[in-house]
Amino acid sequence: MDNSVKAAIYEGLGYSSVLRAKELLITALHNEDEGIVCAAIRGLGAIGDKDAVFMIVDMMNSDAVSEIVAGEAAGALGQIDSPDAYIALVDAYQSIETSDEGIGEDIVSALGYRDISETGDFFKQILNDRATDPALRLAAIEAVEDSQGDAGAFLLDYLNDPDSDIRAETAWGLASIDEPGRIADVLHLQLATEEDAEVRTRLYQALGNQETIDIEAAAGLVYKETVLDTKLAGYDLLAQKLDFSETTKPVEQFANQVIPELQEIALSEKNLNYKIRAVITLQRTDTLASLRALEEIAEKSPDYRVVKATGINR
Amino acid sequence: MSENGFKTFFRMGLVLLAMVLLLTPANLCAEQEGIDSDDMPCNTYIWDITGNYDTPLFEDCEMTMTLVQDGKGKITGSGDGICEMYIDDDDEGFWVWIDYEFDVKGKVTQKKGIGVVKLNVKIAGMAEVDIEDLTDLKFRAKQRLAALINPDTLTFDGVVKSSGCIQKVGCGKEVFENYSADLPIGMDGSWFLATNNIDDDGKKIMGESTLILANGNQLAMTAKGRINARKGEAKVKFSGVKTDPGAKGSSIMATVDEDENVLKMKGKVLGQQIGCK
């Protein structure tokens, strides 16, 4: 039997009511095939009782297993709803050495499966220690984005971090989580002083995740942007939030300046991602002028991917 | 081994490489020298899932979705769809028609060779049901997709968890266990690191290079390295240039022998860990 099939069977055992499932899975932890060992770990994770936690912790901390197996064990523990699993992960993180940074990131990511009310102090400890490896601090913010609970309130504390990568990731977190809270004012303030273009891109995306924003203030900032990536994020925000049935100055500027610029980007820019972002923003705009621009792009673009993105049949 | 042997490290055109390059998408790498993902000692994929999708995230619906992945692997996107479904209530069933638009945020990550796609979808639309006086009803829903990229089938396969409410009708949840979407045509995770503009002085390596993805996107990189003549190796670090947002944050560290074979490689590109030990 193919090892991948065996692995699937082992993992499935964890979800089954087979009496000897746990015993079989524990035996499989010593299999020569790494894929089967990982599957057995996932199976034990699905069982999730004290014995299973004990065995998985043992695998994670073993010097005899590969980084892949140890990482799988960390991931499985992250998903087990038990204090023992949580404590084991935190203890393992505290005892890692600099040479084990890979497993450190795995543990941090694994803790992202849990509720922020349980893991918040742990993540703060990592983030507030500026001596921590920047990659681990970044992994901590990414884990918070994935967490259950009020991640928005937690993330806000790191919008002013000295590391621009952390600020950018934090703003992205606020852009992508379900309930970031009403933080439009904070984001506006941050945008007014933020100098890093990537962070500004993320802040515009975070404003897009707010119900209401000060659109005049946002437009004032967007129209000053010079970096294409950031400009596109700003234009996309305006397309979402401007009321195009009104004849305000930002709306006029969008119609006269932005729509032709987006059309040009979609047709001439080398990078596929920029071209498609321009098309998406034109679609969001949903005005006669933007529809005309999309029709022209569909007609003139030599790139079938861009044409398809316009949604207009040739 | 002479140090001069390394001078040709990145300059020599490899016949085999050239043949491979002629077959690459968009033929962008033609006549370029460099490192090809096909020649790596292990599978190293770089995924850019930018493109158009029409596999619906809800069962019983039709949908078009456009996703854009940026230099950090973050995904933004949007789309629209229509649904026609029969809801089997306890007492009696009824038909529902939904017209909706949605916004997508997500990310592509990769660890230990496994690519993961996560999407959060926020949906808003209007619904109608075949019950008298129930038209123009607001529909709100959210979906979470967690999927693994399968390099053999060039799909991402996973689970979509949905929850939503139709005004005056009620709320519901759906778990779509076997979601599978084709990656955009041409995206197979392969890549080519062009090294035409890299030079060395026998000890140090420096220059510019371009990482070309399977969809034709290019990431501008700088290269810096050191030659170890005693070991017969060169270590080169390729770093995405900071002025290119698509490349900023990406880096690859490669150890190459005198026969241009990559011995080791480790890096992070588009937010994805890649590497061969």
pLDDT digits (tens, 9 = 90+) for B197-252: 888 888 899 999 999 999 999 999 999 999 999 999 999 999 999 888 889 889 99
Above pLDDT 90, what percent of chain B? 58
Type of residue found at B15: V
Type of residue found at B207: G
Interchain contact, A71 vs B112, CB within 8 Å: yes
Name the 3-class secondary structure at A186: helix
ipTM of this predicted complex?
A: 0.86
What pLDDT is attached to residue B1?
37
**CA distance linking residue B175 with residue B5, whole number of Å:** 59
Interchain contact, A176 vs B120, CB within 8 Å: yes
Domain boundary, last residue among A111, A132, A152: A111
Does residue B34 surpass a pLDDT of 90? no
Interchain contact, A276 vs B142, CB within 8 Å: no
What pLDDT is attached to residue B38?
86
Interchain contact, B52 vs A227, CB within 8 Å: no
Domain-located, residue A191: no
**CA distance linking residue B260 with residue A4, whole number of Å:** 34
Type of residue found at A178: D
Of residues A1 and B95, more confidence is placed in: B95
Torsion of Cα atoms, A240 then A233 then A159 then B74, to 10°? 100
Domain boundary, last residue among A62, A86, A111: A111
Type of residue found at B33: E
What pLDDT is attached to residue A95?
86
Interchain contact, A273 vs B120, CB within 8 Å: no
Interchain contact, A305 vs B52, CB within 8 Å: yes
**Mean pLDDT value across residues B124-132:** 89
| First CA to last CA distance, chain A | 50
Q: Looking at CA atoms only, how far is residue A128 from chain B in angstroms?
A: 22
What pLDDT is attached to residue B9?
41
Q: Which two tokens stand for residue A111?
A: 């803790």
**Phi, psi (rounded to 5 degrees) for B155:** -135, 165
Q: Which among B142, B184, B245 is the nearest to A305, CB-wise?
A: B184
Name every chain A residue with its beta carbon within 8 A of the beta carbon of B78: 280, 283-284
Name every chain B residue with its beta carbon within 8 A of the beta carbon of A305: 50-52, 184
**CA distance linking residue A228 with residue A274, whole number of Å:** 8
Name the 3-class secondary structure at B249: coil
**CA distance linking residue B195 with residue B29, whole number of Å:** 10
What pLDDT is attached to residue A38?
94
Contact indicator for B154, B182 with CB cutoff of 8 Å: yes
Q: Looking at CA atoms only, how far is residue B68 from chain A in angstroms?
A: 6
- Chain A contact residues (CB < 8 Å to B): 67-68, 71, 106, 146, 165, 168, 172, 175-178, 197-198, 201, 205, 208-209, 227-230, 236, 270-273, 276-277, 279-280, 283-284, 305, 308-309, 311
What pLDDT is attached to residue B5?
41
pTM of the model: 0.87
**CA distance linking residue B64 with residue B192, whole number of Å:** 31
Identify the band that residue B123 occupies on the pLDDT scale cut at 50, 70 and 90. Answer: very high
Q: The domain spanning residue A50 has which CATH number?
A: 1.25.10.10
**CA distance linking residue A73 with residue A53, whole number of Å:** 9
The residue whose two tokens read 């590109």 is B269
Name every chain A residue with its beta carbon within 8 A of the beta carbon of B43: none
A160-167: long-range contacts, CB 8 A cutoff, minimum separation 24: A160/A190, A161/A127, A162/A130, A163/A134, A163/A137, A164/A196, A164/A198, A164/A199, A165/A134, A165/A138, A165/B249, A166/A127, A166/A134, A166/A137, A166/A138, A166/A141, A167/A194, A167/A196, A167/A199, A167/A202
Pairing of strands B51-53, B233-240: unpaired
Mutate to test the interface with A, among B66, B150, B277 (most CBs of A within 10 A): B66
Domain-located, residue A182: no
Domain-located, residue A158: no
What pLDDT is attached to residue B26?
42
**Mean pLDDT value across residues B146-171:** 94
Name every chain B residue with its beta carbon within 8 A of the beta carbon of A71: 111-112
Q: Does B164 touch chain A (CB under 8 A)?
A: no
**CA distance linking residue A313 with residue A299, whole number of Å:** 9
Domain boundary, last residue among A68, A94, A111: A111
Interchain contact, A198 vs B248, CB within 8 Å: yes
Question: Alpha-carbon torsion A160, A231, A207, B70, what sign?
Answer: negative
The residue segments making up the domain with residue A273 are 214-314
Domain-located, residue A176: no
Q: pLDDT tens for residues A227-253? A: 999 999 999 999 999 999 989 999 999
Low-confidence ranges of chain A (pLDDT < 50): 314
**How crowded is the C-beta side of A132, counted as CA atoms within 13 Å?**
24
What burial letters (b/e) apply to A44-78, b meaning 16+ CB within 10 Å? bbbbbeeebbebbbebbeeeebeebbbbbbbbbbb
**CA distance linking residue A204 with residue A181, whole number of Å:** 16
Q: Looking at CA atoms only, how far is residue A139 from chain B in angstroms?
A: 11
What pLDDT is attached to residue B16?
32
What pLDDT is attached to residue A97?
67
Which residues partner with B52 through β-bridges?
B66
Q: pLDDT tens for residues A188-202? A: 999 999 999 999 999
Return the H-helix or E-strand segment holding A204.
helix A197-207
The residue whose two tokens read 């990229």 is B149
The residue whose two tokens read 């005693």 is B230
**CA distance linking residue B147 with residue B156, whole number of Å:** 6
C-alpha triplet A200, A203, A204: angle, nearest 5°: 90
Interchain contact, A276 vs B50, CB within 8 Å: yes
Q: Where are the alpha helices (DSSP H) in B8-158?
A: 15-22
Does residue B4 surpass a pLDDT of 50? no
Q: Does B81 touch chain A (CB under 8 A)?
A: no
Domain-located, residue A205: no
Domain-located, residue A1: yes
Domain-located, residue A252: yes
> C-alpha distances in angstroms, B138 versus A246, B97, B123?
24, 12, 11
Mutate to test the interface with A, among B48, B68, B109 (most CBs of A within 10 A): B68
The tally of domains found in chain A comes to 2
Interchain contact, A280 vs B76, CB within 8 Å: yes
**CA distance linking residue B217 with residue B193, whole number of Å:** 12
Question: Alpha-carbon torsion B204, B209, B211, B212, what sign?
Answer: negative
Domain-located, residue A272: yes
User: Which of A127-131, A177-181, B35-39, B51-55 is the least confident region?
Assistant: B35-39
What pLDDT is attached to residue B89?
67
Size of interface A-B (CB pairs under 8 A): 72
